[in-house]
Amino acid sequence: MLQLYAHPFSSYCQKVLIALWADGTEFEYKMLDEAHPENMAGLKRRWTFAQFPLLVDDGKTVVETTPIIEHLAALHPGPNDWIPDSALGRQVRFLDRFFDLYVMNTMTVSVFDALRPEGSRDPFGVDKSLSTLRAAYDWLEANLGDGPWAAGNDFTLADCAAAPSLFYADWVEEIGPARARLAAYRARLLAHPIVARAVDEGRPYRSFFPLGAPDRD
């Protein structure tokens, strides 16, 4: 049985949960919460950086969301082709990197800054990250195709990355009506039943969001 160390409110965990649920892949959910300190201890034992999610497959540790989904695709394939062959696959990989590096990681700068103790905040760094996030939105607005998904007709790895990225990023810096194509893509993602499940399972933890979760979505 696969095991996934994860928390339902974590954006990167949602990326992998979406792939697991969409494929109907069975796994044991090792919840990283206060009620299960043994799971946090297990995570720390298995991965120097204790970042999550973390997959265990037959005793082998697999870390980093994209390699986790690649591992699932190779060894536990389901109905979804997460990384298609050829040029489409290369586009999927690029978009996966785009959402992780320019949307997800950029958005978390503001989130982590809000968690810093008073006096150690970095407004300059936050401003810079917000400007990068706006540039990422503009790039997506100009370059996303007609969809319905990031790389065309099929829901791929790129959409697993896009869903939690855009879900939370819009809370940090609204996409806004001027970026209609991107806003419509985010709305399509949130209407996808598996993404909606990820959002719903994270709903009880919204008070954890340090910037104040908006009263929507």
Ligand X SMILES: N[C@@H](CCC(=O)N[C@@H](CS)C(=O)NCC(=O)O)C(=O)O
Q: Does residue 64 bind ligand X (CB under 6 A)? A: yes
Least distance in angstroms from the C-beta of 165 to ligand X: 11
Least distance in angstroms from the C-beta of 102 to ligand X: 13
The stretch near ligand X (CB under 6 A) out of 7-15, 120-128, 134-142, 180-188 is 7-15
Least distance in angstroms from the C-beta of 32 to ligand X: 9
Least distance in angstroms from the C-beta of 10 to ligand X: 4
The stretch near ligand X (CB under 6 A) out of 5-13, 143-151, 177-185, 191-199 is 5-13
Least distance in angstroms from the C-beta of 177 to ligand X: 29
SS3 per-residue string spanning the chain? CEEEEECCCCHHHHHHHHHHHHHCCCEEEEECCCCCHHHHHHHHHHCCCCCCCEEEECCEEEECHHHHHHHHHHHCCCCCCCCCCHHHHHHHHHHHHHHHHHHHHHHHHHHHHHHCCCCCCCHHHHHHHHHHHHHHHHHHHHHCCCCCECCECCCCHHHHHHHHHHHHHHHHCCCCCCCHHHHHHHHHHHHCHHHHHHHHHHHHHHHHCCCCCCCCC
Nearer to ligand X, 63 or 183 (CB): 63
Q: Does residue 52 bind ligand X (CB under 6 A)? A: yes
The stretch near ligand X (CB under 6 A) out of 44-52, 127-135, 179-187, 206-214 is 44-52
Q: Does residue 110 bind ligand X (CB under 6 A)? A: no
Can you say whether residue 57 is alpha, beta or left, with left for phi > 0 and alpha for psi between -120 and 50 degrees? Answer: beta
Least distance in angstroms from the C-beta of 142 to ligand X: 26
Binding residue for ligand X, selected from 3, 11, 110, 156, defined by CB under 6 A: 11
Q: By the criterion CB under 6 A, which residues form the site for ligand X?
A: 10-12, 50-52, 64-65
